[in-house]
Structure 1
Amino acid sequence: MPPRLAVLASVLGAGALLLAGCANPSTGSATDDPTKPVTLKFWHGWSEKNEVKAIDASIARFEKLHPNIKVKTTGNVTDATLNQALRAGGDDAPDVASSFTTNNVGQYCSSGMWADLDPFMKKTGLDKHKVFPKTLLDYTSYDGDQCALPLLADAYGMYYNKDAFKEAGISRPPRTMSELKRDAVKLTKRAKSGGYERVGFMPNFRLYQNSPDRLFAQWGPTYFDKDGKARLAKGSAAKDFFATTRDLVKSQGGYGPLEKFRTSFGDEMSSQNAFLTGKLAMHMDGEWRGLFMKGAKFKWGTAPLPVPDDQPETYGRGYLTGTVIGIGHSSKHQNAAWELVKFLTADTDQVVSFANAIHNVPSTKAALTSPKLDPDPTFRAFLDIAQNRYSTALPASINGGQYVVSLQDFSYGVEEGKEPDLNKGLRELDKEIDADNLQAQN
């Protein structure tokens, strides 16, 4: 699933609901008999026709295995709507819920609105450490509370125009940031008007999926110390990251011209996407982009994003995120709900079938190595990224993605040249993040 364009707004909206008085959510029951007839309510965010068809097929497979359990699905549900219903509780609230917003897991768990899944796993013999990759477990838990499980994942890598590479005499995708700069310059084509026909690699943070945290993952950053304090100003990762993006921008003509070119691009999910139309020679995106490349008029490939020059051993890494699923704390059918969650997340054939259907990365160790997975090599590059031991996900926070929003706002200022003293700016950013976290705790 492509992360929705309104994810950050959803983060803040859901956060406001969570922090506005849901410390004591309605309590459901985990004493129900999952072999008895029951109807479960499952809310999810998928809305595209092919995605809805895939989730409906998944539910049909589950109901065939569990004929006593019927599932009523509701799609296209935002986090704000979901959390409002869970806060209110009652018979209208969902028994099972999924979300595209991994940044909100810290709130789901700490608020108590999503039930702790560890007792259900223990009761049914599911060893989460054997089933799920560690990084995916990390972004579905908070402070020791496993209130969610991964339901497919997304991995970020590089799409590149093979024809443009051949034309520029480049034999393979760049593996280090210095190679990325070199190749980006070679691949950039200026127009006679002074603008651009094509940009090698545009790092501008307002471009499509270019939220700064995604490219920043290539540095393996540590956002918080062991005491939960922001530490972006410490160490060299953030400074090197911004120095690299500034250098990429400068070497290809500067922020103003690049930003002007960016505003001419078509919609991300349309046939006028800038990479699809040849306006970008290299582009950061997720595994789902391959589904939108069928009309490309050039040969294209995929590869991991480059890594810092002083970390060549980490090449192959990438940013990971994905869909999460959990049980509403107010559900009176939590054991039956667990049967659905367990099937959707841990049944290998189901996970593989669902992943193939919507072109997402499988979220279990067994499914990632299944011979039944889509054999397309452009897709398998993302499977390798998902399994790379250096790949990272954002850490959970009590106020969800607020620190990501703060980083994004700061990054806009950096690329626009409004942060002349980067060290000072990063220290102020850390203070802002710490103050927001403290406010959420009180």
Structure 2
Amino acid sequence: MRLTRIAVGTALASTLALTGTACGGGSSSTGASNSSPKTLTYWASNQGASLDIDKQVLTPELKKFEQQTGIKVNLEVVPWSDLLNRILAATASGQGPDVLNIGNTWSASLQATGALLPFDSATFAKIGGADRFMPATIASAGAAGQSPAAVPLYSMAYGLYYDKKLFQAAGIANPPTTWDELVADGKKLTTGSQYGLAIEGGNVSENVHNVFTLGQQHGTGFFDAAGKPQFDSPAAVAAVKQYVDFIAADKIAAPGDAEYAANQSVTDFATGKAAMLMWQAAGANLKSHGMNPDDFGVVPVPVPPGATGAMATSSMVAGINLAVFKNTKNLDGALNFVKFMTSTDESTLLNKAYGSIPPVKDAQSDPAFGTPELKTIAGVLANSAAPLPQVANESQFETLVGTAVKNLLAAAAAGQPITDDTVKAELTKAQQQMPAS
């Protein structure tokens, strides 16, 4: 599933030590030439179940682009475990592709290298305009006040999945809309080997995605307006403690969930070991585990009663962006390729193939995106999702805070008391490890 690959990629972001300011581009170290106006090199992220499946999805579309423009695209599908390091090497050496995929949470960090082409109004005009895209997806493409460093390609958001049969058996008529309701329902649904909620506590990126959402609801974005870390503020402590308490105090998630890092929480939900799950577009994954789509429902993740504005955030903006190296020797071809890949037809086709939400608004009218699950996820993306902090050190934030939450969940699973002071100490340690801006 794409989410796991996205999560792995963002977890690797601790290696992002923005040491090089040289722009990428030039000739590819893989041997493909970027210097011809009739060729492009494209690094695609691994979105499907395997690299070969991605090649099967993308190759016919690249052939279609070649037929329309005469430009041959040399494709390389890069595993998430390698992608960030490959991009960093390209920015430092000047040896890289013309066009590439990046995890959208990396946008500001990679923007700070100066290697990516800024999408100002004139550049956006060459690919059909910025207003074709959902605003939330553009907001996750670079730092505020700067031209985006990429454009959205595939989009996702979190929803709360619930098992209809388990809810009915527990006498719960409707899914929760507030956290108090979720905890109360979770306790009713926790019995024997069954738990109310499944979480992925060993997954650093899952942790930070969820506590970021809770942080927004508590009134913090983990950075102040100047981009200074505020990891151990009272609001941040409250957000992290609320998440850790699913194991520590509420006991609605299994202690073993603290070690989950590879979709085990999805498996537990699909097999009836947990009644609720907070996840990104999980339907295809659940189906692969034998869960019938009629057996689960999806609603937005709870928010505080009466919450408005940022405090009504129910998800981070998740997804994949498409970027161009600034010094590509085939800029016109690269922008034509971006225009092609983000056209309504291609956005529809590719997001269908990967089970994601098209960031191109016109593509969302296709019936394939009209399932109850995807309509809910699209609604969250449009109305209550916020991008992770678009600061140069965002990648380190994900790794350090996500690891702090992982440590706290492990302590809770071991029966250690989790207090405000416990949480603050772990978050203070994370903040002290942040590099200077």
Contact 1:304 1:316 in 2 (8 A): no
Q: Tell me which residue corresponds to 2:161.
A: 159
Q: Tell me which residue corresponds to 1:217.
A: 213
Q: Quick one: which of 314, 336, 343 aligns to 1:317?
A: 314
SS across alignment from 2:381: helix
Contact 1:202 1:249 in 2 (8 A): no
Cα distance, 1:433–1:134 mapped onto 2, change above 3 Å: farther
**Residues 171-190 of structure 1: matches in 2 within 5 Å?**
171-190=173-192
Contact 1:86 1:330 in 2 (8 A): no
Cα distance, 1:149–1:254 mapped onto 2, change above 3 Å: closer
Per-residue deviation, residues 368-412 of structure 1 (Å, max 9, x unmatched):
3x2444332122211111111x31120122134101212122223
What is the CA RMSD across the aligned residues, in angstroms?
A: 3.2
Cα distance, 1:212–1:25 mapped onto 2, change above 3 Å: closer
Percentage of pairs with the same residue: 22
Q: CA deviation at 1:305?
A: 1.1
SS across alignment from 1:152: strand
- Distance in 2, matches of 1:262 and 1:428, equals 16
- Distance in 1, matches of 2:191 and 2:124, equals 58
Q: CA deviation at 1:215?
A: 4.7
TM-score (norm 1): 0.82
One-letter amino acid matched to 1:344: M
Q: Tell me which residue corresponds to 2:137.
A: 136
- Distance in 2, matches of 1:262 and 1:156, equals 20
Contact 1:291 1:359 in 2 (8 A): no
**Residues 179-258 of structure 1: matches in 2 within 5 Å?**
179-190=181-192, 196=193, 198-203=194-199, 205-206=201-202, 210-220=206-216, 221-234=220-233, 236=235, 238-250=236-248, 253=251, 258=254
Query: When the two structures are aligned, how many residues end up with a matched partner?
Result: 410
- Distance in 1, matches of 2:341 and 2:11, equals 27
Contact 1:230 1:430 in 2 (8 A): no
Richer in helix (by share) = 2
Per-residue deviation, residues 72-129 of structure 1 (Å, max 9, x unmatched):
1000241212331343224xx2111112x2232223211111122226525627431x
Q: Tell me which residue corresponds to 2:331.
A: 334
Contact 1:218 1:308 in 2 (8 A): no
Q: Tell me which residue corresponds to 1:280.
A: 274
TM-score (norm 2): 0.82
One-letter amino acid matched to 2:247: V
Per-residue deviation, residues 62-81 of structure 1 (Å, max 9, x unmatched):
23332x21111000241212
Tell me whether 1:85 sits opposite 2:95 in the alignment.
Answer: no
Q: CA deviation at 1:431?
A: 7.8
One-letter amino acid matched to 1:422: D
Contact 2:127 2:339 in 1 (8 A): no
Runs of 4+ in 1 over 6 A off after TM superposition: 312-316
- Distance in 2, matches of 1:219 and 1:262, equals 20
Unmatched segments (≥5 aa) in structure 2: 28-35
Unmatched segments (≥5 aa) in structure 1: 30-35, 191-195
Per-residue deviation, residues 281-337 of structure 1 (Å, max 9, x unmatched):
101111144344251268112111111245288768322211111111231111110
Q: Quick one: which of 349, 362, 365 aligns to 2:361?
A: 365
- Distance in 1, matches of 2:373 and 2:352, equals 13
Q: Tell me which residue corresponds to 2:33.
A: none
Q: Tell me which residue corresponds to 1:296.
A: 291
- Distance in 2, matches of 1:413 and 1:428, equals 8
Cα distance, 1:400–1:426 mapped onto 2, change above 3 Å: same
